[in-house]
Amino acid sequence: MSVLHTADLHLTEKDEKGWAALDELVRLAGQHKISALVISGDLFDHGTEAEKMRGRLRAAIGSGDFQTVILPGNHDHSAYRSGLYFGENVTVINNWQEPALIEDAVIWGLPYEQISGEKLVSRLREMAALMNPDQANYLLFHGELLDAYFSREDMGDEGNLRYMPARLSYFAPLPLQYVLAGHFHSRYASWKLPGGGLFIYPGSPVAVTRRETGVRKANLISAGEVPLEIPLNTNHYEEMVLELDPFSHEDPLEVLDHKLKLTHPLAKILLTVQGLFDGSALGLTEKELVAAIKKRAGERFADEPGLELADVRHILEDDLFRQFKEKLDQTDCPGEQKEKIKEMLISAFRVVKA
């Protein structure tokens, strides 16, 4: 028994990135010969569009010989109300009392509803009464874990509402091996459940907002083994800082090329260029350097780079600065300290000259 666990694909008709991520998940499902693909909520971005995407979804997940179990999330719960049929090997958990049985595992789910923490506690107690502790029980959950210090932006674009707020302690009465959760987009994260077992958010498999930086992951669970974070070949964002140094002999454009080479080909780069540079040594004005950077990275950028740079050649060429620097270079103070002093000196000159 093995499960590939994901959530928060936020599929729309127009955005191909989500569909490509689904294909990647299906490819991995085949590669790892899993029993079930579990999607813990927000498969669709809007409930209203699901009907139109049904055929495409069926074609995408119907090709493998594994089961798919879908949990309604806060974004797409309205999609499943009419009992949409997604194919033979797809189960939608519309009722918390009716689990999906896959091999020797019992996969329960809490379809999304707008309920308070108190109500959730009693709902979980009712569920516990239905579970057989001698079986392998998994629970699919889509909502916010209050034990974790998340910010709003970690959930994608959600505004100010709390969705199915839960604490780890709420799950204590349930004989669970795993809570396979969704709703938290930023990254893969897991917690120990007080009654045994693990609570796991896999993070979104494809970036929805710019906060979803780094290679995206899916969660692979094989009975008796430690859950695995499986890296995905899907679209995401990556933060990059290009640090300039007026005394370095490195060409910042070459440094940028090198950094770009190390990034994932599907990463969109959020670049910040910061620091001071010697335009005369580089043979470029500030405007030219910025243009060269933009040209170099071209379509790799998610948007316009953040620019916090300045050409300080006029300071480096100043007689007083040069004299001071020569004296400093002759002293035997450690290199790191020299760098610090030079930085301070340039800042002082910039204030004076401004």
Query: Which of 207, 267 has the CB closer to Mn ion?
Result: 207
Of residues 92-151, those binding Mn ion (CB under 5 A): none
Shortest approach of Mn ion to residue 183 CB, angstroms? 4
Identify which range of 42-50, 89-97, 170-178, 232-240 contacts Mn ion by CB under 5 A.
Answer: 42-50
Shortest approach of Mn ion to residue 350 CB, angstroms? 47
C-alpha–C-alpha distance, residues 153 and 211, integer Å: 7
C-alpha–C-alpha distance, residues 69 and 71, integer Å: 7
Q: Is the dihedral of CA 44, 47, 52, 55 positive or negative?
A: positive
Measured distance between the N- and C-terminal CA atoms of the chain, rounded to whole angstroms = 68
Shortest approach of Mn ion to residue 177 CB, angstroms? 23
CA distances from 90 to 55, 67, 97, 198, 222 (A): 13, 6, 18, 25, 20
How far from the centroid of its chain's Cα atoms is residue 44's Cα? 17
Identify which range of 13-21, 24-32, 73-81, 278-286 contacts Mn ion by CB under 5 A.
Answer: 73-81
Shortest approach of Mn ion to residue 150 CB, angstroms? 12
The pairs formed by 313-322 with CB atoms below 8 angstroms and a separation of 24 or more are: 313/278, 313/279, 313/280, 313/281, 314/353, 315/346, 315/349, 315/350, 315/353, 316/246, 316/278, 316/280, 317/280, 318/349, 321/345, 321/346, 321/349
Shortest approach of Mn ion to residue 115 CB, angstroms? 15
Query: Which residue has its beta carbon closest to Mn ion?
Result: 183
Query: Which of 48, 331 has the CB closer to Mn ion?
Result: 48
Angle between helices 252-261 and 286-297 (to 10 degrees): 20
Identify which range of 34-42, 60-68, 275-283, 315-323 contacts Mn ion by CB under 5 A.
Answer: 34-42
CA distances from 71 to 14, 41, 90, 285 (A): 23, 5, 11, 55
Shortest approach of Mn ion to residue 7 CB, angstroms? 8
Query: Which of 75, 342 has the CB closer to Mn ion?
Result: 75
Of residues 176-215, those binding Mn ion (CB under 5 A): 183
Query: Which of 12, 248 has the CB closer to Mn ion?
Result: 12
Shortest approach of Mn ion to residue 41 CB, angstroms? 6
Identify which range of 46-54, 71-79, 86-94, 95-103 contacts Mn ion by CB under 5 A.
Answer: 71-79
Shortest approach of Mn ion to residue 243 CB, angstroms? 36
**One character per residue 258-277, x = contact with Mn ion (rule: CB under 5 A):** --------------------
Query: Which of 183, 313 has the CB closer to Mn ion?
Result: 183
Query: Cβ distance 174 to 121 under 8 Å?
Result: no
C-alpha–C-alpha distance, residues 156 and 146, integer Å: 16
Query: Which of 81, 258 has the CB closer to Mn ion?
Result: 81
Query: Per this entry, what is the length of the chain?
Result: 354
When asked if residue 42 is in the footprint of Mn ion (CB under 5 A), the reply is yes
C-alpha–C-alpha distance, residues 313 and 10, integer Å: 49
Quote the tokens at residue 74.
């806060």
What residue ranges bind Mn ion (CB under 5 A)? 42, 73-74, 183
